[in-house]
Amino acid sequence: MPTYEYVCDACQHQFELFQSITAEPEKQCPECGKNKLRRLIGPGAAIVFKGSGFYKTDYRSESYKKAAAAEKSAGNGKADGKTTGESKTKSPSATAAS
Protein backbone atom coordinates (compact mmCIF):
# COMPACT_ATOMS: atom_id res chain seq x y z
CA MET A 1 0.00 0.00 0.00
CA PRO A 2 1.37 3.42 -0.92
CA THR A 3 1.82 6.47 1.25
CA TYR A 4 0.02 9.58 -0.01
CA GLU A 5 0.77 13.19 0.83
CA TYR A 6 -2.10 15.54 1.59
CA VAL A 7 -2.34 19.30 2.07
CA CYS A 8 -5.22 21.39 3.41
CA ASP A 9 -5.98 24.47 1.31
CA ALA A 10 -7.60 26.17 4.32
CA CYS A 11 -4.90 25.82 7.03
CA GLN A 12 -1.90 24.59 4.93
CA HIS A 13 -1.52 21.51 7.15
CA GLN A 14 0.56 18.83 5.37
CA PHE A 15 0.73 15.16 6.30
CA GLU A 16 1.23 11.68 4.88
CA LEU A 17 -1.37 8.94 4.95
CA PHE A 18 -0.82 5.22 4.35
CA GLN A 19 -3.84 3.93 2.40
CA SER A 20 -4.85 1.49 -0.29
CA ILE A 21 -4.59 2.38 -3.98
CA THR A 22 -8.32 1.77 -4.38
CA ALA A 23 -9.27 3.93 -1.36
CA GLU A 24 -11.03 7.22 -2.01
CA PRO A 25 -8.92 10.33 -1.25
CA GLU A 26 -9.54 11.93 2.13
CA LYS A 27 -11.49 15.19 2.06
CA GLN A 28 -11.64 16.44 5.66
CA CYS A 29 -8.55 17.99 7.29
CA PRO A 30 -7.65 16.42 10.66
CA GLU A 31 -6.38 19.82 11.95
CA CYS A 32 -9.11 22.32 11.06
CA GLY A 33 -11.95 19.94 10.10
CA LYS A 34 -12.73 21.71 6.81
CA ASN A 35 -13.33 19.83 3.58
CA LYS A 36 -10.41 21.52 1.80
CA LEU A 37 -8.01 18.57 1.76
CA ARG A 38 -6.32 17.52 -1.49
CA ARG A 39 -3.95 14.73 -2.36
CA LEU A 40 -0.56 15.80 -3.72
CA ILE A 41 1.20 14.11 -6.60
CA GLY A 42 4.40 12.66 -5.19
CA PRO A 43 7.60 11.45 -6.81
CA GLY A 44 6.71 7.82 -6.19
CA ALA A 45 8.83 5.14 -4.63
CA ALA A 46 12.08 3.80 -6.01
CA ILE A 47 12.24 0.27 -7.32
CA VAL A 48 14.29 -1.95 -5.04
CA PHE A 49 15.73 -5.15 -6.49
CA LYS A 50 16.36 -7.82 -3.87
CA GLY A 51 17.63 -11.33 -4.33
CA SER A 52 19.43 -13.00 -7.19
CA GLY A 53 18.58 -12.73 -10.85
CA PHE A 54 19.20 -9.04 -11.46
CA TYR A 55 22.77 -9.13 -12.76
CA LYS A 56 24.03 -10.67 -15.98
CA THR A 57 26.49 -12.75 -13.96
CA ASP A 58 23.61 -14.49 -12.17
CA TYR A 59 22.77 -16.47 -15.30
CA ARG A 60 26.24 -17.62 -16.39
CA SER A 61 26.46 -20.97 -18.15
CA GLU A 62 27.92 -24.02 -16.46
CA SER A 63 30.88 -24.07 -18.88
CA TYR A 64 31.71 -20.46 -17.96
CA LYS A 65 31.54 -21.28 -14.23
CA LYS A 66 33.83 -24.32 -14.69
CA ALA A 67 36.37 -22.29 -16.70
CA ALA A 68 36.34 -19.49 -14.11
CA ALA A 69 36.86 -22.01 -11.29
CA ALA A 70 39.76 -23.63 -13.16
CA GLU A 71 41.35 -20.24 -13.81
CA LYS A 72 40.97 -19.27 -10.17
CA SER A 73 42.54 -22.51 -8.90
CA ALA A 74 45.43 -22.15 -11.40
CA GLY A 75 46.02 -18.62 -10.15
CA ASN A 76 46.37 -19.81 -6.55
CA GLY A 77 49.61 -21.67 -7.36
CA LYS A 78 51.52 -18.48 -8.17
CA ALA A 79 53.64 -16.84 -5.48
CA ASP A 80 53.55 -13.02 -5.66
CA GLY A 81 53.56 -13.13 -9.46
CA LYS A 82 57.28 -14.06 -9.65
CA THR A 83 58.52 -16.94 -11.73
CA THR A 84 60.67 -19.62 -10.20
CA GLY A 85 64.44 -19.34 -10.57
CA GLU A 86 64.66 -15.57 -10.04
CA SER A 87 67.40 -14.44 -7.73
CA LYS A 88 66.70 -11.76 -5.14
CA THR A 89 70.36 -10.64 -4.97
CA LYS A 90 72.35 -9.09 -7.75
CA SER A 91 75.26 -10.97 -9.23
CA PRO A 92 78.76 -9.43 -8.87
CA SER A 93 78.98 -8.75 -12.60
CA ALA A 94 75.71 -6.79 -12.53
CA THR A 95 76.97 -4.51 -9.72
CA ALA A 96 80.28 -3.89 -11.50
CA ALA A 97 78.54 -2.83 -14.70
CA SER A 98 76.44 -0.25 -12.86
Say which amino acid occupies 93: S
Q: Would you say the pTM of this structure is higher than 0.75?
A: no
Q: pLDDT (tens digit, 9 = 90+) per residue, 27-82?
A: 999 999 999 999 998 776 667 677 666 666 666 778 888 888 899 888 775 555 44
Cα–Cα distance measured from residue 28 to residue 38, given in angstroms and rounded to the nearest whole number? 9
For the chain, how far is it from start to end, CA to CA, in angstroms? 78
Triad 51, 52, 58: Cα angle to 5°:
165
What are residue 23's phi and psi, to 5 degrees? -70, 145
Q: Which fold has domain 1-61?
A: Rubrerythrin, domain 2 (2.20.28)
**What are the residues whose beta carbons fall under 8 Å from the beta carbon of 19, sequence distance 6 or more?**
1, 2, 4, 26
